[in-house]
């Protein structure tokens, strides 16, 4: 599966599975998204590839989701100039979804936990 396909499915994946990624993986992905406006598209793509290599469990779940939700049929390739804009749009959508996610209900803030006796 191509990296571009995985990038394209990230926003849908995060909406469908808001707690599927670990906090560490989400933070790393958020750092990639934060740098989106200041780095070149190829650098962002390379950072995402590194993220996929680092967070293999998350990558595998993302790939499984992408394969299960792949559109049937062939799409014609986008012009090269449109690729950069498309990549940026996918990451901006993923960032927006990430910002709108509710915190994991299974995790409690240590300050909210009762004192141990």
* Residue 73, Cβ density class (10 Å: 0-12 exposed, 13-18 middle, ≥19 buried): exposed
Q: How confident is the model over 27-40, as a mean pLDDT?
A: 83
**Quick one: pLDDT band at residue 110, thresholds 50, 70, 90?**
very low
Whether 82 shows a pLDDT value over 80: the answer reads no
- Label residues 7-29 b or e (16+ Cβ within 10 Å = b): bbbbbebbeeebeebeeebbebb
Q: How confident is the model over 32-43, as a mean pLDDT?
A: 81
Is the pLDDT higher at 36 or at 12? 12
Give the largest Cα separation in the chain, rounded. 64
The rounded percent of the chain whose pLDDT value lies above 70 is 62
């Amino acid at each position: 599966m191509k990296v571009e396909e995985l990038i394209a499915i990230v926003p849908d994946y995060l909406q469908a599975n808001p707690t599927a990624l670990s906090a560490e993986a989400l933070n790393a992905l958020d750092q990639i998204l934060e740098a989106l406006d200041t780095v070149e598209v190829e650098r962002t793509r390379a950072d995402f590839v590194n993220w996929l290599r680092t967070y293999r469990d998350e990558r595998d779940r993302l790939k499984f989701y992408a394969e299960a939700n792949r559109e049937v049929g062939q799409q014609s390739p986008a012009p090269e100039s449109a690729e950069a804009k498309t990549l940026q749009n996918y990451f901006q959508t993923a960032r927006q979804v990430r910002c709108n996610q509710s915190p994991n209900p299974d995790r409690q803030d240590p300050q909210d936990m009762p004192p141990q006796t």
